[in-house]
Amino acid sequence: MEEKAEQHRVPVLIVGGSLVGLSASLFLGRLGVGHMLVEKHAATSVHPRGRGNNLRTMEVFRSAGVAERIRAAASLLEDNHGILQTPDLGDADAGEWLVKQIDEKGGAPGRLSPAAWCVCSQNDLEPVLLEAAVELGGDVRFSTELVSFEQDDDGVTAVVRDRGTGRESTVRADYLIAADGPRSPVRERLGIGQAGPGDLFHNVSVSFRSRALAGVVGDRRFVVCYLTGPEAEGALLPVDNKELWVFHAPWEYDRGEPLEDFTDERCADLVRAATGVPDLDVEVTGKAPWHAAERVAEHYGRGRVFLAGDSAHEMSPTGAFGSNTGIQDAHNLAWKIAAVLDGSAGPDLLGTYEEERLPVALATSARASSRSVEHSHPGYRPSPAAVAGGPRGGLLPVVLGYRYPRGAVLGTDPELPPVPDRIDFSGAPGTRAPHMWLHRPGDHNRLSTLDLYEKSFVLLTGPGGKDWLTAAELVASGLSVGLEAYRVGQGAEADLVAEAGADWAEIHGTTSEGAVLVRPDGFVAWRAQNAVPDAETALYEALAAVLRRG
């Protein structure tokens, strides 16, 4: 008798269990959304790559309760900062710091963000995300691959296969998130094309052990060092600052150079030549080829299937924008799926995922390529047109300043570029909500305004905004939507007390009688700069419009 195929029913199926897929699992789990994740590989990544977790990514991980775990996993590199470029590591005075501090003009700690950059390699970060996702009830299945899927008006039916046993099972889900990498089978099955210059350059990532290299590097605690000597070039990355390292060697893939040419002996010689230490002890422990490219999907999904991470965009590694953008894709999508599933939002809200994230990816991928030109990334031979483009600005406008001119926002200028040349933390709709330090009355433990945003909409108002608090309660009930409201100030009636010298209204671009509506992902959805005659109607109409409640 033929064994009946196993069948599963979940609200969300995630395909791909790397950084973005695991982040999606974590964010959905935090919001109480049931899901299954399938990943064709047997375990999390063993390669120390994708290490730069920027301020915005660490903010969302802070909201998700895993920031401290990530920092613990990254403790070996907690003192590493900046990007060094030098022709010779043997000469301590040679070269220059392209970026001395990785957060660039971030100012005093805690001024722009409650978080800080974290250098945590993918092989250390993924286990943290996996552990947290499983703790929240995520059904995560490694050695399991997607075989096929079909969608209809009511959901997605997928067939998955256990690669160990060969057994297939059927998964019925409301939605599918494809975080299945740059060669995404899901994207290809949907027939979604890509735009952009395509391949930029190719590298082989060489993991190696060297006990003497730490003495050569000395106290230069870089995140990455671009070695540009005449004998060989490459990028050097510390793994533990002691004896474990990674070297990215240029690979002439587009000229037919076979991967087999990168023997252990040749890789060791390349490391010695690039570092300028001919007798350096080098024990090669691993090799992995990779391709840097600039491509963005023409759509972020179709119907009930959504693309996230590398399936939606490929970026040059310079600036570490790719994985961060992907994690933030998942963060944007998770709250929207949760809101549609629980009935607080209309299904059209999901259309704003592409509307918001695709323009950000286009702008960010262009900035990443531009930064590779600026930093003369080893192995990159840019076209004259790319070189002529010139510098495109620092990291912070890309990392914290990106915005949504269109989407689930009201009161924006739709013609504004998604990535500005300068950051604007004035509380404007479509931007990441401003950070300021607060504490609850009678409790002097410090919290950021950003700590308020994750599981519901939040309405903030100033000392003169009592009517907004009443309106929020009525609107939450009328729309059956999670909505928390706080009055920020210094007086006894304040729900949240601002630190001395901090003016909530000034920071958020309102008067003390105004209000700011913030989405669960921490972006400003709508703002009233002053009091209005009918606060309940104004708030009701704004929130209903943002949630696409027809």
Q: What is the CATH number of the domain that holds 152?
A: 3.50.50.60
Instruction: Tell me the CATH number at 282.
Output: 3.30.9.10
| pTM given for the model | 0.94
Cα 116 from chain centre: 14
Q: What pLDDT, on a 0 to 100 scale, did the predictor assign at position 47?
A: 79
Residues 260 and 333 in one domain: no
Residues 329 and 262 in one domain: no
DSSP state of 445: -
Last residue of a domain, one of 293, 328, 353: 293
Residues 53 and 151 in one domain: yes
What angle is formed at CA 454 by the lines to CA 343 and CA 519, rounded to 5 degrees? 65
Beta strands in 327-478 (DSSP E): 437-439, 447-448, 457-461
CA dihedral angle for residue 18, residue 20, residue 26, residue 32, rounded to 10 degrees: -120
Is 405 within a domain?
Answer: no
Q: Which domain holds residue 204?
A: 196-293
Residues 326 and 352 in one domain: yes
Is 177 within a domain?
Answer: yes
Residues 353 and 465 in one domain: no
CA atoms 368, 374, 376, 380: torsion sign? positive
Is 135 within a domain?
Answer: yes
Q: Is 32 helix (H, G, I), strand (E, B) or coil?
A: coil
Closest CA to 468 of 426, 408, 544, 528: 528
Residues 150 and 201 in one domain: no
Residues 257 and 328 in one domain: no
Residues 204 and 182 in one domain: no
With a cut of 50, list the residues of the chain below it in pLDDT.
Answer: 1-2, 104-108, 388, 390-391
Beta strands in 251-333 (DSSP E): 283-297, 301-302, 305-307, 313-314
Q: Distance (Å, rounded) from C-alpha 319 to C-alpha 54?
A: 9
Instruction: Tell me the CATH number at 538.
Output: 3.40.30.120
Is 395 within a domain?
Answer: no
Runs of H (alpha helix) within 1-160: 19-30, 55-63, 67-73, 122-135
Q: Domain count of the chain?
A: 3
Closest CA to 58 of 136, 114, 128, 137: 114
Residues 202 and 131 in one domain: no
Q: What pLDDT, on a 0 to 100 scale, did the predictor assign at position 459?
A: 98
Is 92 within a domain?
Answer: no
Q: What pLDDT, on a 0 to 100 scale, did the predictor assign at position 461?
A: 97
Residues 165 and 62 in one domain: yes
Q: What pLDDT, on a 0 to 100 scale, did the predictor assign at position 413?
A: 95
Is 110 within a domain?
Answer: no
Is 85 within a domain?
Answer: no
Residues 480 and 504 in one domain: yes
Q: Distance (Å, rounded) from C-alpha 375 to C-alpha 386?
A: 13
Residues 175 and 65 in one domain: yes
Is 306 within a domain?
Answer: yes
